[in-house]
Every structure is written in C-alpha cells, then in structure tokens.
Amino acid sequence: MHSKKAKFVSRNGRALLMLIVVVSACKREQRQFDPPPTTTNPAIVQSELQPGGAPQPQTSTKSPVEENANALSDGKRLFSLYNCTGCHANGGGAIGPALMDETWIYGSDPASIHSTIVEGRPNGMPSFRGKISDYQVWELSAYVRSLSGQLRKDVAPGRSDDMNVHRSEQRVERKTPQQSTIPKAAEQP
C-alpha cells in the first residue's frame, strides 16, 4: 500500500518534471546583458535590395530575440534613444513611414527590417551600419514588428510610463502585412 503510493507519487513527479522541462523551453525570460560586439570596421557593402515587388534577397538569418521580452523592452527604449521617433514618431509615422500599420515597403520579416536598419533606404532612412551593435538592431527590428502586433502578446512590451498615444504593443491587434509598392512621395522625379 505504502510503496504503491510512493510509486504513484514518483510517476506523477516524473511527469511533472517533464512538463516543467517542456515549459522551460520558452525563451521569453532570457536576458542577455553582454551581447557580442559588432566588428568596428565594417566593409562597404552595396545593397542588393529593391523596393516594391522586386524579389527580396533570401536571408536565412533568424531573429535571435523575437521571443524574448527583455530584448523587446530594450528595443522599445532604443527606439527613442536612437531617435527613431524623430521620423517615425511613436510608430504612427511622420516624415518617415508609419510602422504600426499593415503596409510594408521593404518587407515585414525580421531579416528585412534588420537590413533596412543596417543598410538604410532611399529617401531618408539612414544606414546604421557600424553605429549600433547587431544585437541591438535585432532588438529594434523585433520591436518594430511588435508595433503592428506581429509578435506574441506575452512577449510584446506593455504600456509606457509616459503619455500613451496608442495601445501598448501587447494589446494592438495583429495587422496582416501587405507588400506596398514604392510610395509616390519616394519616387524619383
């Protein structure tokens, strides 16, 4: 009787342990405090990217931070610290395009946004190559994606501690990304 009970407990204990291991696979809470530095002397690279419907370069690079709440929170802070807000406002767009809508000119996947930040884009978007670390670029691109609800809600940041102009990133509705042609304003004369 007693050993049966012990067996029952140990079997259930093992099941519980398995469950814990499975659940612990989630990356949401990992925190990376010393991301690897970017090379200080980057080679000059020519962009192969085309706006509009042109085929996008096939990158196999996967964002390392899309499931990581801490990185997104950092991304949110960097978004103002690096003055992304200067052109994109709080995601609603000003002289730069809006980031919280469904329209994407240069692709909505993490790798495309990453290269948008690194390479820069015609008509205003500067290149940040060599200016900020690669890890921070990933953090920023993940945050940009969270602005239109592309990320999991339990990872996306909550409201800001200041005047809030839109719903927090964890509460925005997910917008289906649509590839846009080049905007009129950005066309060459």
User: What minimum distance in Å lies between the beta carbon of 178 and other proteins?
Assistant: 27
Q: Determine which residue in the list 11, 153, 174, 178 makes contact with other proteins, applying CB under 8 A.
A: 153
Token pair recorded at residue 61: 């690079």
**Sequence letter at residue 13:** G
| Distance between first and last Cα of the chain | 88
Is residue 123 within 8 Å of 131, Cβ to Cβ?
no
Question: Taking contact as CB under 8 A, which single stretch among the options 43-51, 54-62, 141-149, 158-166 is the one that binds other proteins?
Answer: 158-166
Binding to other proteins (CB under 8 A) within 58-97 occurs at: 69-70, 72-73
Q: Does 173 bind other proteins (CB under 8 A)?
A: no
- Smaller CB distance to other proteins: residue 45 or 165? 165
Binding to other proteins (CB under 8 A) within 112-151 occurs at: none
Report which of 141, 174, 148 is spatially closest to residue 63, judged by C-alpha positions: 141
- Smaller CB distance to other proteins: residue 22 or 43? 22
Contacts of 136 (CB under 8 A, 6+ apart): 35, 74, 75, 78
Q: Does 48 bind other proteins (CB under 8 A)?
A: no
Query: By three-state DSSP, how is residue 103 classified?
Result: strand
Integer angstrom CA distances of residue 160 from 31, 71, 170 = 20, 15, 11
Binding to other proteins (CB under 8 A) within 4-43 occurs at: 5, 20, 23-24, 26, 28-31, 33
Under the rule (CB under 8 A), what is the footprint of other proteins? 5, 20, 23-24, 26, 28-31, 33, 69-70, 72-73, 153-154, 157-164, 167-168, 170-171
